[in-house]
Amino acid sequence: MTIDEASERYQIPMEILREYESWGLCGTVKKVMGAWQYDDQDLERLSLIMTLHDIGFSNAEMEEYMRLLLEEKNTEKQRMEMLDRRRGTALDEIHFREKQLERLDYLRFKIQKKKGERG
């Protein structure tokens, strides 16, 4: 599958595919007549990269995670630490948003209460 086909079929932005190629992590990707050819393993890695992107990893973090994954030398602990850090950040963001919602609801309550008193 070419880069264009992979981008279209799996809705992966071209810049992500090009970044992936630039990292040199495409172990089995072969260049045939000027076009990259992706196999199933490459597509699995791309899916993982998209997941990492969607959960908020930066390009540098994605590259580090993928390099650790491909090393296959007891890197589980390091990868788990990266995921735990991201999870902690996500929880902090959720708690911040919950506080925002509480304040919004309070302001809405005040407006509704005042409207009811006039009503």
User: Which range of residues forms the domain containing residue 103?
Assistant: 76-119
Q: Which residue has the higher pLDDT, 92 or 44?
A: 92
State which of 51-55, 58-62, 103-107, 111-115 shows the largest mean pLDDT.
Answer: 103-107
59 with 111, same domain? Answer: no
This prediction has a pTM of 0.71
> What are the tokens at 104?
């919004």
Burial class of residue 27 (count of CB atoms within 10 Å of its CB; 0-12, 13-18, 19+): exposed
pLDDT computed for residue 117 by the predictor: 80
- 9 and 44: one domain? yes
**CB contact at 8 A, 56 and 86:** yes
For residue range 57-96, what is the model confidence (pLDDT) as tens digits? 998 999 899 989 988 789 999 999 999 999 999 999 999 9
Residues 55 and 98 in one domain: no
| Number of other residues whose CB lies within 10 A of the CB of residue 19 | 16
For residues 41 and 36, what is the distance between their CA atoms, to the nearest angstrom?
14
